[in-house]
Amino acid sequence: MKIDVIKSKKITFGISALVIIIGMVMMLTSGLNFGIDFTGGTLIQIDLGREIPVEEVREIMDGYDQNASIVHAGEGNHEVIIKTTNDYNNDERVEIFNQYKDEYNLDDDALINQQKFGASIGEETQRRAFISVAIATVGMLLYITFRFEFNFGLAAITALIHDVLIGLSVYSILRIPVNSSFIAAMLIIVGYSINDTIVVFDRIRENIKRTRKQPFDEIINTSIKQTIRRSINTSATTLIAVTVLYILGVEAIKDFALPLIIGVLAGTYSSIFIASPVWYLLKSRKSKVNMYNPNTIDS
């Protein structure tokens, strides 16, 4: 197997850039599709006992919010999940449910889930997410600088930002609602993807020590070749577990599983094709020599 991530960096960077640019353009033009936990809103999930066409379900909701999103869920599509950006209070929620209850002869148990989020919650979640990512990033940068060197840290963080941007872009392109589960999953991906990157960097560090007179790009390619099986095998096992969860899980867990799937894929890609080439660029730009110099690396 011939791998040259340095040579192919124009292509691999290009693919990522393309996805991110399309995602960002769509984000700027039509905005992200935020979940109700960000915008504030109400979710009502009702078991109607049989599959009722969405248009019919919508008739009652039209009296409240014509823009409500209504989707089927559960076995045989017996359930409907109604989401609206209006945060209805308890009485209003009961009123809405009671109309469905009367219309379809339901029990009180048929109201399987109701959620309400005030608008202030979303802003705070976003702010917290931002702070979390910032702190985690600095923390990891410090650790990597301490264990490796600053350039490795920078490259790892670049890969990590890449993963988050890819996640955001995919959500923006596919118009999937960004909610707090997505944020949590992205934060986890930050941890997961850096794990992948570190494994590669660790090998580069080791190979630098071992083979003193090799150019960086060769060292990188050897290191990636040595670790690629591990990267793929690990990602494959994790992907299998998370994908099964996505296929079999209920709505709430799908919200977690999907960004994890995207994140694991992006993370594996970036740890192979983004992190090391970025490190290479940083390294050759700084030292203007693309060979190991004992004075520049302390590992």
Partner 1 sequence: MNKSRILFALIIAVLVLISYSAVFGFTVGDYIVSPFGEEIDLGLDLSGGVYVVLEANTDETGDELAKKMQQTKAIIQQRVDGLGVAEPNITIENNDRIRVELAGLENPQEAIDLIGKTAQLEFRDLQGNVIVTGENVEVSEVTYNRNNQPAVALEFDSEGAEKFATATGLLMDMYPGDENRDNRIIEIVLDDEVISAPSVSETITDGRSIIDGSYTIESAANLANLIRAGALPLEMREIEVNVVGPTLGLESLNKSITAGAIGLLLIFVLMLIMYRVPGLVADLALSIYILIALGVFIYIDAKLTLPGIAGFILSIGMAVDANVIIFERIKEELRVGKTIRTAVDSGFKQAMTTIIDANVTTLIAGLVLYNFGTGTIRGFAVTLLIGLVVSMFTAVFITRFLLRLVIKMDITRSKKLFGGA
Residue ranges in contact with partner 1 by CB under 8 A: 45, 47, 74, 89-90, 94, 109, 111-118, 120-121, 128, 131-132, 135-136, 139-140, 143-144, 147, 156, 180-181, 183-184, 187-188, 190-192, 194-196, 198-199, 202-203, 206, 226-227, 229-230, 233-234, 236-238, 240-245, 247-250, 252-253, 256-257, 260
* Residue 8 C-beta: closest distance to partner 1, Å: 23
Residue spans of alpha helices (H) in the chain = 9-30, 36-39, 54-62, 90-104, 119-147, 150-174, 180-210, 216-248, 251-273, 275-287
Q: Which is nearer to partner 1, 214 or 226 (CB)?
A: 226
Beta-carbon-side half-sphere exposure of residue 257 (alpha carbons within 13 Å):
17
Residues in contact with 69: Cβ distance below 8 Å, sequence separation at least 6, in sequence order: 82, 83, 84
* Residue 28 C-beta: closest distance to partner 1, Å: 27
* Residue 21 C-beta: closest distance to partner 1, Å: 27
Which tokens hold the place of 167?
């996640």
Q: Which is nearer to partner 1, 154 or 291 (CB)?
A: 154
Cβ distance 190 to 136 under 8 Å? yes
Torsion angle, alpha carbons of 257, 263, 267, 269, to 10: 100
Distance CA 101, CA 92 (A): 14
Q: Which is nearer to partner 1, 19 or 121 (CB)?
A: 121
* Residue 49 C-beta: closest distance to partner 1, Å: 12
* Residue 148 C-beta: closest distance to partner 1, Å: 8
DSSP 215-239: BHHHHHHHHHHHHHHHHHHHHHHHH
Length of the chain: 299
Q: Which is nearer to partner 1, 25 or 142 (CB)?
A: 142
* Residue 17 C-beta: closest distance to partner 1, Å: 25
Distance CA 31, CA 94 (A): 32
Q: Which is nearer to partner 1, 62 or 123 (CB)?
A: 123
Strand partners, 71: 81
CA-closest candidate to residue 196, choices 167, 239, 227, 237: 227
Q: Which is nearer to partner 1, 9 or 259 (CB)?
A: 259
* Residue 124 C-beta: closest distance to partner 1, Å: 8
Q: Which is nearer to partner 1, 16 or 42 (CB)?
A: 42
